[in-house]
Chain A
């Protein structure tokens, strides 16, 4: 597609529910990133995929967070047993390049998760 598409745009979950957030990157983009942006903060790195391989998941805050990209295109970020502190905007970004500090990321509009 023309840009990075994320769904749902808004999600309200009750504490303890599981949620799944989807990201459709730009076609042909090798790299895919997930970031978490809390209210009033800058985005924080969660995890990185190069094609279908998850090369870095060091930013995932707990084992309740899980991400996958099984066919090297669409990615899903899953949060199990949601907690209030998980409330944030989850941003997906993709890049044509592989591992490189000169990556130019294209971001989606984000999925805003509110945990009650």
Chain B
């Protein structure tokens, strides 16, 4: 069955520390991959996407993600977290269709 898994429900990091949020997917073919961020009361904002080509993609706000086909993963990283990065992060997968399948999200808390 097709699925998107974000293993970490909550993550806490100190401001200035590095961040990695995990995403694993299970699909028959290479999917299109996305990371969205959702702040309280806000809509989902696209951070970055992978369609093809270079497996390391750069996004907004200093985020990057690496597609690893062998591990079926698309982990999100940021070298130095800012307090304003505290939010809910969603990994999403699109296939040959049009709808996105979202993971359940990872809630990021940033401590001083």
Contacts and interface: CB of A to CB of B under 8 A. Distances in A.
B101 interface: yes
Which of A31, A44, A105 has the most chain B CB within a 10 Å cutoff?
A105
Contacts of A91: 43-44
Interface residues of A, number: 26
B28 interface: no
Contacts of A99: 97-98
B12 to A, nearest CB: 17
A62 interface: no
Interface stretch (A11-19, A69-77, A80-88, A107-115): A107-115
B94 A103 contact: yes
B32 A43 contact: no
A72 B103 CA distance: 29
Which of B44, B98, B100 has the most chain A CB within a 10 Å cutoff?
B98
Interface residues of B, number: 27
Contacts of B94: 101-103
Interface SS majority for chain A: loop
Contacts of B41: 109
Contacts of A60: none
Interface string B7-41: 00000000000000000000000011010100001
Given A99-B97, A101-B94, A104-B49, A42 B102 contact: yes
Contacts of A56: 98-99
A56 B100 CA distance: 13
Contacts of A42: 4, 90, 92, 102-105
Interface of B: 4, 31-32, 34, 36, 41-46, 49, 51, 90, 92, 94-105
Given A42-B105, A44-B102, 12 more contacts: A40-B105, A43-B90, A45-B99, A93-B44, A101-B31, A101-B32, A101-B97, A104-B46, A107-B36, A107-B44, A109-B41, A109-B43
